[in-house]
């Protein structure tokens, strides 16, 4: 049935869309093609993906690398029936211009002909029970299927994903991720692992010792920000074990990427240098940057050093770094990432100066690789738009020859820059979905935007779009969003999302369940269609508890609410925004609709017993609903305090605390929501007790305080990387809320001012103790998720 659904419900691929080739990148594409592994290597790599995904069907498929000429000069995959000559021979032939295209074709066939589903293990994993036995695979129509990429690239990762998601991975986990990339059609991934080992070798040639680098590199969980020059030394130092271990891992990652025909994007020099360089080169133009989110500008980790791109030493170091990477990895790419100006504006807005700086940055890359192309995150054009006005933006983008820079329109799913920048003033760009901040766990999406935005950008007048991309800060959540976004790399028309979701639901759970289909229709119109333009970062009160004094505000009452009418499909609904100092969680949908979706999801549960994908989605949806309820309860508790009603304060605060406990029990019922997994993966990489203690502190600190504190001030980044994980709710978020409410109650009992500073002192000490702790947390689920979710629904919502 699904193979027929595919032909009718999604898109027609036979209708060509007039596209002008982007001549600027044609020479680059040809060079990258010449670097690819031989066809036999790529075909073997694709078979490796199949063997790990579906070992029972290894003999059912034949894979073949074909020339781009077969697809009119583009990248493509083709799926055809095999002319069977024996009972046990191949049934389906999948051809592609690279192994990534073959893997993408395999995934497409398994989805739309066999009803299978692939997601990250931590979001429920794969569903292949629906795939027929070998010898019985569904056939295609005689002409088969050919799908071309409408744009050359499918980019993947953010420069901070390496810290929020990949930091504790070994090769076993990385191998799964590279397989996932190939199946999703990713052909342009960042490859940032292990670069500190390269830097150690480079800086040694500039007379900087390993000891000099101890306060330069950040700790494992904070390397992304040390690389960007936001901080230094925090969570460090890095041991030689770590450096060597990560370099070995990077070589494994790059080797597999190359075997699959991917183009890895390597790092380059952005100007961030160790303090020791100022003494070795006293006349170099090195400035100390200002504070980035510390509480006291502590020089141990604040205020890094930046070498001016106009200094000849900049080009020397940049060239040395590129050449050292080529020596270690081979000639694997011509594309290098550099974000010198990310959250770090140039000292003057003079366009001529900015142009000179840009040219100098590029020179530092191109001296190491004469064919180099600079890949730059376009985040600065959004986050610092007051500085990057059209003259400054154009000066930077035109500071290198056309075709030598590619820009990531990083936040195009919500705040597209291409629309307001004359398509980046002629510079090739990649339409990216940002979606996630800090690796937070929050059901959220902009499905209408990602199902149409890339198509609108590509067919717009004078389009310079050359790819699509996924640039989330953290992964392993919201699998529906990433599956649809991945498909946009192969879709030349907009997707009818509601119809696509019906197919998605059937594939994800392996069968059609009408209550679940109805639930997904509600989720599409609510959670997964945010259109308010607000960047989603989970500020729910449980995980980002407000650090404020509610007694400084007058009572929150109805006449203090401002009412916003937001478009919502063919409906409009109310959003109440309190006009007070109280932090506001993001809410873009009517909560009662999503409670109805949960009711339907639960009703379909008896038909999906044993489905890990259903269990993950059920736990996540129940968590989402309860968390939003907790936000409302928190407001009632604070209002009770402001009204000096101690009985109501006790009632609502106790309900808030009980919700934390209940959500912890819920999350404990699925293996993918456990803090123990995160902590154990960190400790597993350690080779001695000292490293074990350091890595665990890094892991605990990143998901809680994040950065430095003092006795009376929480980190400015506290809870930025908050997580809804069982274990951390009970041991960290619960005591925090409990102590806060205790102080509120004491204030009312004694008729005294709320002692915010006293609470902060107490909480910071508690947090420090948790960060330095080593208590063990479960790594295996316990409890019946469906029974727990049903009981919680009845407890809080049944009326």
Question: Coil, strand, or helix at residue 436?
Answer: coil
Q: Quick one: 284 exposed, middle or buried, by C-beta within 10 A (0-12, 13-18, 19+)?
A: middle
CA atoms of 574 and 179, how far apart (whole Å)? 44
Question: Coil, strand, or helix at residue 588?
Answer: coil
- Looking at residue 499, what is its pLDDT? 98
- Looking at residue 88, what is its pLDDT? 76
Instruction: Quickly list DSSP for 340-407.
Output: TTTT---S---HHHHHHHHHHHHHHHHTT-TT-EEEEETHHHHHTTTT--HHHHHHHHTSS-TTSEEE
CA atoms of 286 and 271, how far apart (whole Å)? 9
CA atoms of 367 and 117, how far apart (whole Å)? 45
CA atoms of 706 and 702, how far apart (whole Å)? 4
- Looking at residue 86, what is its pLDDT? 64
- Looking at residue 730, what is its pLDDT? 98
CA atoms of 242 and 373, how far apart (whole Å)? 30
- Looking at residue 566, what is its pLDDT? 31
**674 DSSP 8-state letter:** B
- Cβ proximity of 116 and 128 under 8 Å: yes
- Looking at residue 738, what is its pLDDT? 98
CA atoms of 8 and 618, how far apart (whole Å)? 29
User: What is the bridge-based pairing of β-strands 286-288 and 305-307?
Assistant: antiparallel
- Looking at residue 21, what is its pLDDT? 56
Question: Coil, strand, or helix at residue 298?
Answer: coil
- Looking at residue 142, what is its pLDDT? 84
- Looking at residue 22, what is its pLDDT? 72
Give the total residue count for the chain.
Answer: 799
Q: Which long-range contacts (CB under 8 A, 24 or more apart) does 1-7 make?
A: 1/115, 2/111, 2/112, 2/113, 2/114, 2/115, 2/503, 2/506, 2/507, 3/112, 3/113, 3/138, 3/140, 5/112, 5/502, 5/503, 6/112, 6/113, 6/503
- Residue showing tokens 């590509």: 458
- Looking at residue 2, what is its pLDDT? 40
CA atoms of 261 and 747, how far apart (whole Å)? 65
- Looking at residue 570, what is its pLDDT? 29
- Cross-strand partners of 375: 337, 406
Residues lower than pLDDT 50 in the chain: 1-20, 554-579
Question: What's the Cα-to-Cα distance from 33 to each of 45, 98, 334, 515, rounded to whole Å?
Answer: 17, 9, 11, 48
Our CA angle for 704, 708, 713, nearest 5°, is 90
Structure tokens given for 112: 């739309």
- Looking at residue 15, what is its pLDDT? 29
- Cβ proximity of 155 and 430 under 8 Å: yes
- Looking at residue 346, what is its pLDDT? 84
- Looking at residue 89, what is its pLDDT? 85
Q: Quick one: 259 exposed, middle or buried, by C-beta within 10 A (0-12, 13-18, 19+)?
A: buried
């Amino acid at each position: 049935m699904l193979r027929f659904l595919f032909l009718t419900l999604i898109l027609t691929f036979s209708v060509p869309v007039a596209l002008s080739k982007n001549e600027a990148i044609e020479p680059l594409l040809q060079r990258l093609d010449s670097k690819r592994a031989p066809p036999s290597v790529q075909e073997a790599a694709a078979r490796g993906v199949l063997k790990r995904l579906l070992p029972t069907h290894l003999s059912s498929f034949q894979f073949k690398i074909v020339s781009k000429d077969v697809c009119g000069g583009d990248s493509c995959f083709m799926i055809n029936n095999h002319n069977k000559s024996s009972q046990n021979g191949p049934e389906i032939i999948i051809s592609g211009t690279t192994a990534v295209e073959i893997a993408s074709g395999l995934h497409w066939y398994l989805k739309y002909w066999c009803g299978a589903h692939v997601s990250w293990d931590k979001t429920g994993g794969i569903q292949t029970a629906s795939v027929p036995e070998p010898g019985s695979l569904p056939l295609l129509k005689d002409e088969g299927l050919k799908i071309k990429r409408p744009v050359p690239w499918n980019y993947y990762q953010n420069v901070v994903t390496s810290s929020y998601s990949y930091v504790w991975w070994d090769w076993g986990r990385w191998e799964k991720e590279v397989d996932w990339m190939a199946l999703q059609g990713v052909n342009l991934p960042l490859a940032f692992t292990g670069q500190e080992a390269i830097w150690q070798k480079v800086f040694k040639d500039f007379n900087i010792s390993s000891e000099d680098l101890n306060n330069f590199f950040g700790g494992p969980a904070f390397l992304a920000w040390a690389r960007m020059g936001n901080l230094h030394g925090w969570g460090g130092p890095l041991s030689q074990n770590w450096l060597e271990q990560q370099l070995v891992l990077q070589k494994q990652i790059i080797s597999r990427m190359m075997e699959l025909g991917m183009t890895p994007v390597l790092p380059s020099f952005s100007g961030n240098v160790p303090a020791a360089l100022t003494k070795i080169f006293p006349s170099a133009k090195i400035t100390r940057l200002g504070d980035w989110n510390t509480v006291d500008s502590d020089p141990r980790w604040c205020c890094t050093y930046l070498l001016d791109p106009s200094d000849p030493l900049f080009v020397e170091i940049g060239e040395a770094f590129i050449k050292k990477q080529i020596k270690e990895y081979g000639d694997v790419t011509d594309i290098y990432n550099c974000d010198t100006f990310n959250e770090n504006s140039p000292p003057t807005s003079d366009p001529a100066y900015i142009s000179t700086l840009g040219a100098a940055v590029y020179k530092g890359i191109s001296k190491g690789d004469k064919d180099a192309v600079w890949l730059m995150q376009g985040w600065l054009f959004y986050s610092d738009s007051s500085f990057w006005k059209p003259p400054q933006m154009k000066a930077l983008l035109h500071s290198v020859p056309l075709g030598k820079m590619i820009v990531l329109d990083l936040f195009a799913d919500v705040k597209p820059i291409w629309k307001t920048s004359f398509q980046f003033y002629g510079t090739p760009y990649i339409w990216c979905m940002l979606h996630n901040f800090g690796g937070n766990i929050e059901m959220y999406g902009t499905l209408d935007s990602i199902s149409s935005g890339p198509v609108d950008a590509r067919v717009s007048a004078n389009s310079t779009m050359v790819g699509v991309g996924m640039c989330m800060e953290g992964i392993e959540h919201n699998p529906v969003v990433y599956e649809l976004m991945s498909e946009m790399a192969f879709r030349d028309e907009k997707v009818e999302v509601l119809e696509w979701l019906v197919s998605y639901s059937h594939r994800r759970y392996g069968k059609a369940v009408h209550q679940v289909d109805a639930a997904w229709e509600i989720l599409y119109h609510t959670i997964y269609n945010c259109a308010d333009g607000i960047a989603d970062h989970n500020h729910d009160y449980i995980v980002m508890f407000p650090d404020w004094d509610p007694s400084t505000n007058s009572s929150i009452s109805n006449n203090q609410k401002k009412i916003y009418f937001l478009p919502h499909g063919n409906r409009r609904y109310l959003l109440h925004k309190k006009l007070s100092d109280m932090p506001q969680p993001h809410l873009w949908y009517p909560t009662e609709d999503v409670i109805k979706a949960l009711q339907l999801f639960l009703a379909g549960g008896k038909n999906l017993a044993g489905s890990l994908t259903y269990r993950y989605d059920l736990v996540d949806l129940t968590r989402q609903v309860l968390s939003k309820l907790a936000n409302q309860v928190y407001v009632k508790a604070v209002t009770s305090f402001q009204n000096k009603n101690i009985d109501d304060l006790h009632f609502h605060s106790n309900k808030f605390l009980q919700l934390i406990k209940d959500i912890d029990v819920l999350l404990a019922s699925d293996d993918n929501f456990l803090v123990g997994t995160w902590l154990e993966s960190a400790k597993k990489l350690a080779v001695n007790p000292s490293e074990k203690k350091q890595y665990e502190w890094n892991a605990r600190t990143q998901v809680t305080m994040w950065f430095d504190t003092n006795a009376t001030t929480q980190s400015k980044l506290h809870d930025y990387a908050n997580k809804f994980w069982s274990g951390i709710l009970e041991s960290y978020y619960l005591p925090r809320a409990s102590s806060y409410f205790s102080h509120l109650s004491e204030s009312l009992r004694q008729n005294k001012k709320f002692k915010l500073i006293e609470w902060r002192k107490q909480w910071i000490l508690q947090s420090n103790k948790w960060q330095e702790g080593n208590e063990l947390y479960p790594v295996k689920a316990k409890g019946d998720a469906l029974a727990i979710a049903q009981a919680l629904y009845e407890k809080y919502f049944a009326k």
